Amino acid sequence: MNWLDQVKWDASGLVPVIAQEQGSNDVLMFAWMNREALGKTAELGRAVYFSRSRNKLWFKGEESGHVQTVHEIRLDCDNDVVLLKVTQLGHEPGIACHTGRHSCFFSKLEDGQWSAVEPVLKDPESIYK
């Protein structure tokens, strides 16, 4: 049985994916994959997601240069969520977020409000030329 057949794809043929930084264990981002994206990720050793807004494969870093090398692919107990251990390339420290931040999870609930608590490491306008 192919390992891809053991993943429980949702009604849209997708699975949620968490990208975690190897070493720091920081959660960098959350995205989706279809079967082809997960297959390509394993084959290439780099993160390939499925963009729901553009309805096509999204080779992470294809525009920004912020490619993710994939060290491990994990699956959860229900076979319906994937966790990647990655190295975030293209900038030091790594930038996973399109806002130019290390992680997409930069908003923190404080006193009943969402506050941006992580710095912008690079101006997004200079990332997406």
Residues of the shown chain interacting with its own copies in the complex, contacts defined by CB under 8 A? 3, 6, 16, 18, 20, 24-27, 29-30, 42, 72-79, 81, 83, 97-99, 101, 104-109, 112-114
State which residue, 56 or 108, has the beta carbon closest to its own copies. 108
Q: CB 58: neighbour CB atoms within 10 A? A: 19
* CB 16, min distance to its own copies, A: 6
* CB 13, min distance to its own copies, A: 16
Residue reference for tokens 């101006």? 123
Q: What type of residue is 102?
A: H
Q: What type of residue is 10?
A: D
- Please indicate if the annotation marks 76 as binding a ligand: yes
- Please indicate if the annotation marks 10 as binding a ligand: no
- Please indicate if the annotation marks 78 as binding a ligand: yes
Task: Quote the Cα angle for 122-126-127, to 5°.
Answer: 75
- Please indicate if the annotation marks 123 as binding a ligand: no
* CB 30, min distance to its own copies, A: 4
State which residue, 57 or 81, has the beta carbon closest to its own copies. 81
Report how far residue 11's alpha carbon sits from residue 14's, in angstroms, rounded to the nearest whole number: 7
- Please indicate if the annotation marks 97 as binding a ligand: yes
Within 8 A by CB and 6+ apart from 25, the residues are none
Report how far residue 77's alpha carbon sits from residue 68's, in angstroms, rounded to the nearest whole number: 25
State which residue, 81 or 89, has the beta carbon closest to its own copies. 81
> What kind and span of H or E run contains 33?
strand 27-34
* CB 44, min distance to its own copies, A: 14
